[in-house]
Every structure is written in C-alpha cells, then in structure tokens.
Amino acid sequence: MIKYILSKSHPRYLSLYYRDLLAKGVRNGITSLQGLTAHGRGEAFDYLIGEKTHSFAQKAIEAAAAMLLLSRKPVISVNGNTAALVPKELIKLAQVTKAKLEVNLFHSSKKRERAIVAYFKKCGAREVLTPDKTIIPNVTSNRKHISQAGQKTADVIFIPLEDGDRTEQLIKLGKKVITVDLNPLSRTAQKASVTIVDNIIRCLPLLIAEINKLKHTNEKELLGIVKKYRNRPVINQALQQLNRRLTALSGK
C-alpha cells in the first residue's frame, strides 16, 4: 500500500478522499478494480458540470422523493462503488423509505457479494438481499441475477451508478427506475423514469432531506409531483449545462 499525506487544505481534497475510499473498497474486497475506472468516468463528468448540484438535479430529486414515498415496495440496488462510497447514506435512505437493500453486481462474485453484505451490516443495515435463482429476462450481463423478495416484486427500484441494459428491461416489466449518474448519456440515465444527474455523494443527503420534507404530504399531492415530472427535459438540461459550461470556459 502506498502511503501519502492527504491534507484537508489540498485543493482537490474531497476528490482524493473519495478515490481513497474506493481504493480501500478494492482492498477490502467490496469494490471491483473496474469500479475505479467507472469512478473516473463519473469524476470527468463532475468536472464538466462544475462539481455542484444544479436545478435539473433538484427537480429530479423532488420527483424521486415523491416516487419513493408513493412506492409500496421500493428496492435500493447496491454495487461495489456505492457500497464503498455511501453505505451509511444508502442505509438511511432505506430507513426513510422502508426500502429493501439488494446487492446487484456487474462483475459478479459470491465472495464480493458476501463482503458487501457484511460491510452493510457493520454499517448498521439489518437485512441485505442477494440474488437467488430469479432472473430479469433479456438482460445480457450478470445484473440479470436478482432476488424474488427484492427487485422481482418491487414497484420502484433505485439504481445509482450504472450504465447498462437492466433499467430498460425493468421498465418493460412495469417498474419505475430512479438513477443517479453524472453521465446523462449512459444507457441507464437515458432509460430511467427519473435521472438525477449529480454526484451520488452530494445527491443522497439532498434526497433524504427531500423525503423528510415531503413525508407528511398527502398522496394526491405526491402523485401530482410525479405526474408533472418529465425526465427527458431534465436530461436535456443536463446536456445543455455541459454545453454552456464548455462554451463559457472556451471563451466563446
């Protein structure tokens, strides 16, 4: 292990801190090596949007909060990156929405699944589901392996940090999918019911706060928020933000 001093006064302190969390995740058997490169992709988009939560993300967060509060059976899908970066926040989100946590891995490994479950339990989770023999049809990757008690019977599934074909198929099965992805062009971002284009680190505390704000709102009003929400314009606003920022930075 390479040792270095991470000073809080370093201008990229937070970025270095979260990279270290992921490297630790790899060492502890939670995060895949490929997870490090996936994080780099996210970081690049974060740089481009200006490393802040924009109004298009806030709009999506409000819709996601209402959708989760209306859900009869929400499930939170966990991979090796989210497990390393935001375990406590995901547990909190599961508590405030009464959702089940379910491990779903692209680079699937029973050993890593067990390590993630053990880590979540250490962080305070009571139950974490893992795939059984249930499968999502027409999904080509390992992400097709799900659990009967979780994703199979869920109505709303929270799937952060994933560029894949699972979302499209889950939606074909009549489920709603909420994602968090800094890349508005990922397949999951494009196909989800609600796409929060923001860093998972910034987004989860905001989502939890929004749920706490809306938790006493009546069903009719929550339905109104969900019905009014349109995901395509929100994705387009994220793309326009990238365009605007690059145009401004290039001095045009």
* C-alpha to C-alpha distance for 47 and 26, rounded to whole angstroms: 24
The reply to whether 80 sits near ligand PTJ by the rule CB under 6 A is yes
| Least distance between ligand PTJ and beta carbon 107 (Å) | 4
The reply to whether 49 sits near ligand PTJ by the rule CB under 6 A is no
The reply to whether 186 sits near ligand PTJ by the rule CB under 6 A is yes
Closest to ligand PTJ by CB, 64 or 222: 64
Closest to ligand PTJ by CB, 80 or 87: 80
The span of 49-57, 94-102, 181-189, 231-239 binding ligand PTJ (CB under 6 A) equals 181-189
Single residue of 71, 77, 79, 167 touching ligand PTJ by CB under 6 A: 79
- Of 130-149, binders to ligand PTJ (CB under 6 A) are none
The span of 63-71, 151-159, 193-201, 222-230 binding ligand PTJ (CB under 6 A) equals 193-201
The span of 7-15, 68-76, 146-154, 196-204 binding ligand PTJ (CB under 6 A) equals 196-204
Residues that bind ligand PTJ (CB under 6 A): 32, 34-35, 38-39, 41-42, 45, 79-81, 105-107, 161-164, 180-183, 186, 199-201
